[in-house]
Structure 1
């Protein structure tokens, strides 16, 4: 996989050549990230034939989107006049109820969420008048047919939908500094680069600048009152997040880290089938051990060193969120002094009635990870004590 080949394909498709290497678009870290990613895919991902096709299509589309977004910003600098802040940021680790909470809070019309269809195809900018009928919605739904064909069990693990809220990692993917890649593919070298080198070199900070440019474009003709965004990777990068969005308010979900590791490993095993037949649960658990548990540790650091002020964050325990999701939503609204109207509550209740909860029909065991419970307990003792997280496994 040659970066130059992908770049030439994207420039031929769009007729554009400006990838936004300047500070306005987060700098040139995208090219470094692309090179590291492609090298890792070549040498570590063990892609099958369909995986090769999926990767080529995704990488090309991310580059096409990047070219078009940069071009649109160059031609319409006025779209940066509307302030994005303060967004609501859901930042719990994977498999802690974040997706359900994300979709639940998205039922409030005051909350502007990046929906999957507009993240996948951001141009032309979505418009309020056609937001519910845009033809890109149907186009995006059609792409899920491949997932259903290759991984028919995937919807039992994680919901798919063109009009469901999409995570920030899909936005930063077109900056190639994103946790979406090690989630989808076996790219441990890229993950190592993402967690350490990219942060030290400022490329993670650049990805948040790119993130803002993306939201500015999406909001340019379909604005909202408050942005609602989410991804587990925010736990790892809170200094960069708060630097880009200093007025953000946050909601962090918490769950026994041992259950998080077990459920995440199972999710990875399911998701990666789209790219490879080389599925090894213990290897994936070891690969993601530091990513998940290190992120939890960093979330404690962000509280104790003041990066995340106490009055700007709400903590929700997984058990309480699953037992009483409406009550959890009310707690968020109360903490930030927002009006929880009867209409909003009805919309949330309707969503819960019509959508299966995260993890429904998703069997997994801790033993499949190959990890030892003592190692996880030792690594996360500070986190579980600080947030009073109950143990589900013993």
Structure 2
């Protein structure tokens, strides 16, 4: 029997989130358009299994419940909104370009503040600086995640992406609470929602919500934010309207390899909610090509307007060859001090997290109906602008 048989509108989800939390006030209605688009697809498409529909709606309820809790906390502690979010260091670019490695290395700096995975699940009350990684909510999720990780290792399964519960995560999981996050697209069968987020949605409200969220977290555990999300590159204008002094790390990689890797990344979440015969790999390829085009063209246009000196260009092939050299250059560009203790912690993290610690992923463009020749005009301007080392791509 369905747990959500009559959920068809954003009002329905809000009522469930209110019942779950016992809270009723919400800060705005900016989340409604994206949620209604999401619900329209899961309720009208035959691509989803019954369990898949339940899972997506359940995630939507949980996500809106977090927003209710954050708003309630701000109502009780309005002074947090007086705290400035100054000079955040924000990594963006195409997906699958090494942004996770950069975020974990920056997290080794105790003067910085990362957005931790568990904080996007249990944001309030915020942890203190002393309990960021010892809070019972963090430890419980850490144990849960470690069990999953051990299963993956024992089964020698490929794992395209992994985040520790107490490690940095993407701003995406704040954006999902405004229902304008592309991670929702990874569970959907059509590109309609993604096209709306990229081309039509007003992202200003999303970044304003992100700022409030960060103000809540930093009220108990301050520091200069190190943030990352590849798709910030699609919305740099909105980002800079809310965080005007942000320092931007632009991650670059062979776009052909990155596109194939993104397609491969999407297959797991889609397979968890969709019927096997509804998995259209060629459609995944077309969606990835379209999204990647926005991820390179939008920042190119912004770069023309605000100048190249606002960006540090981080190349994947350099990061893989000598990550510490890249980190030293990032610090020098940002005007921040990289002390010997932080360097030591970075070296230690690298030693404990080799690139090949999981079974290798095997994928190719042609699995998703794509070829390098087809993608060449999409990425021609991007490849002409930057000295990107091409990888072997089939």
Structure 2 equivalent of residue 18 of structure 1: 25
Checking the alignment, whether the CA contact within 8 Å between 1:158 and 1:359 is kept in structure 2 is no
Cα offset for 1:132? 2.1
Q: Deviations over 1:244-301 (max 9, x none)?
A: 1000001111111111111111111123233224433221111121111122011111
1:298-317 matched pairs, under 5 angstroms = 298-306=298-306, 309-317=307-315
Instruction: Give TM-score scaled by structure 1 length.
Output: 0.91
Give the direction of change, closer, same or farther, for the CA distance of 1:6–1:116 in structure 2 (3 Å limit). Answer: same
Cα offset for 1:127? 1.4
Checking the alignment, whether the CA contact within 8 Å between 1:10 and 1:61 is kept in structure 2 is yes
Instruction: Give TM-score scaled by structure 2 length.
Output: 0.91
CA distance in 1, matches of 2:148, 2:314: 35
Structure 1 equivalent of residue 3 of structure 2: none
CA distance in 2, matches of 1:262, 1:132: 35
Structure 1 equivalent of residue 181 of structure 2: 178
CA distance in 1, matches of 2:59, 2:254: 34
Structure 1 equivalent of residue 256 of structure 2: 258
Cα offset for 1:148? 8.0
Structure 1 equivalent of residue 222 of structure 2: 223
Checking the alignment, whether the CA contact within 8 Å between 2:18 and 2:65 is kept in structure 1 is yes
CA distance in 2, matches of 1:289, 1:342: 42
Q: Secondary structure at the match of 2:203?
A: helix
CA distance in 2, matches of 1:244, 1:295: 20
CA distance in 2, matches of 1:358, 1:38: 39
Which runs of 5 or more residues in structure 1 are unaligned? 22-27
CA distance in 2, matches of 1:186, 1:345: 44
Give the direction of change, closer, same or farther, for the CA distance of 1:365–1:238 in structure 2 (3 Å limit). Answer: same
Structure 2 equivalent of residue 339 of structure 1: 337
Cα offset for 1:153? 7.0
Q: Deviations over 1:15-60 (max 9, x none)?
A: 2222211xxxxxx220111101111222348233442342233111
Q: Deviations over 1:210-246 (max 9, x none)?
A: 110110111111111x101111111100101111100
Structure 2 residue 283 is the aligned partner of structure 1 residue 280: no
1:38-53 matched pairs, under 5 angstroms = 38-44=39-45, 46-53=47-54
1:1-394 matched pairs, under 5 angstroms = 1-3=7-9, 4-21=11-28, 28-44=29-45, 46-141=47-142, 144=145, 156-198=159-201, 203-224=202-223, 226-276=224-274, 277=276, 278-306=278-306, 309-357=307-355, 361-393=360-392
- Give the stretch that moved more between structures: 127-136 or 236-245: 127-136
Give the direction of change, closer, same or farther, for the CA distance of 1:187–1:19 in structure 2 (3 Å limit). Answer: farther
Q: Secondary structure at the match of 1:141?
A: helix
Checking the alignment, whether the CA contact within 8 Å between 1:169 and 1:180 is kept in structure 2 is yes
CA distance in 2, matches of 1:371, 1:13: 44
CA distance in 1, matches of 2:150, 2:352: 20
Computed over aligned residues only, the root mean square deviation of the Cα atoms, in angstroms, reads: 2.2
Checking the alignment, whether the CA contact within 8 Å between 1:384 and 1:390 is kept in structure 2 is no
Checking the alignment, whether the CA contact within 8 Å between 1:148 and 1:154 is kept in structure 2 is no
Checking the alignment, whether the CA contact within 8 Å between 1:106 and 1:112 is kept in structure 2 is yes
Cα offset for 1:341? 1.2
CA distance in 2, matches of 1:161, 1:7: 30
Q: Deviations over 1:137-163 (max 9, x none)?
A: 133235546798799777621113111
CA distance in 1, matches of 2:38, 2:151: 26
Q: Secondary structure at the match of 1:90?
A: strand
Q: Secondary structure at the match of 2:266?
A: helix
Give the direction of change, closer, same or farther, for the CA distance of 1:43–1:388 in structure 2 (3 Å limit). Answer: farther
